[in-house]
Amino acid sequence: MKATQKLYEMGQSLWLDNITRGLLSSGTLRQYIQEFSVTGLTSNPTIFDHAIKNSHDYDDAIRQKLKGGKSGEALFFELAIEDLRQAADLFRPIHDLTNGVDGWVSLEVSPLLAHDTSGTLAAAKALHARAGRPNLFIKIPGTQEGLPAIEEAIFAGVPINVTLLFSRAQYVAAAEAYLRGIERRIAAGLNPDVGSVASLFVSRWDVAVEKEVPDALRDQLGIAIAGQAHESYCRLLESPRWKRTLNAGARVQRLLWASTGTKNPKASDILYVRGLAAPFTVNTMPEATLKAFANHGEMVETLSVHAEEVLAKFAKAGIDTDALAAQLLDEGAASFVKSWKDLMECIASKSVLLKAA
């Protein structure tokens, strides 16, 4: 039995942090579902930028859309929705079998809207309606402006993947936004069964401090932060507030580990898979990490890091995790904007080449 299957049977969902038209047309994604126990996937602007830039898989579709007068952002979302519809259909049997717990795909609103509450909400509603798939999350960043959009989107019945979370405090704020939306649905007599995950980014912590801490602390901060958030997650699941919504027919917003590819070449390539094994969570991982864990992963006991002890060592080393969490969120939002602009430039340049051809 592959380690990926053992991890899934332990209770953690394995999602692929990638989508390309080639993955779909070649049958590779279907193979990952069958052989590696993959039960969902996530996407972002960087993934689509690389997919469009580094292949000819999208050329014919872009030509057709150019003939139809599409360009830029409108053209991109048509491409993305086409891919994600196909992926959602592949995962639909899993979604149905698990009663909506699993089998999700994710599409992100434009990162240019990260600080625009009303624009984010309008985009989330429109994209979900256009996609027309019940197992498609819309990704909204957990920025100060994103939180009210998350609450309103949940109240409107739009499933949400809260992205760009970096700390326990940011995770709790996202969970409370989700809860407020669900509680408002219950009060309004609406079905409270609206799916959501909260995505905590892990490896970027270790990259941020790699030059500021001794070797003995390398590659430990991300997992410690994740462990701290997981403790809050478990407490929330046991809280009277959660239980009241569950009793009314709601579902839990699951905690998702994102950014789980190892960045340090000297560290294990499955560091953030082995270290973040925990039931009723999701790990969305790059293809290389998924293959590495399937090939030579080993199961360990579920997430049991002594987070506060580890974080105390980082505090002693001069790391202010609260300040760094805010910095990582700002940098993450800025990075996604850059990726979005790169994506738009990629589509524009490819459009020019295809028109000339």
Spatial contact of 140 and 146, defined as CB atoms under 8 Å apart: yes
285 phi, psi to nearest 5 deg? -125, 150
Burial 293-311 (b: 16+ CB within 10 A, else e): bbeebeeeeebebebeebb
User: What distance in Å separates the CA atoms of residue 121 and residue 118, rounded to the nearest whole number?
Assistant: 5
Q: 139 an active-site residue?
A: yes
Q: Which of 222, 201, 215 is nearest to 271 (CA)?
A: 222
Q: What angle do CA 204, 205, 207 make, to 5 degrees?
A: 60
Q: Which of 172, 167, 177 is nearest to 140 (CA)?
A: 177
User: What distance in Å separates the CA atoms of residue 17 and residue 69, rounded to the nearest whole number?
Assistant: 31
Structure-block tokens of residue 355 = 């028109």
Length of the chain: 357
Of 2, 65, 70, 139, catalytic: 139
145 phi, psi to nearest 5 deg? -80, -25
Q: Provide the annotated active-site residues.
A: 139
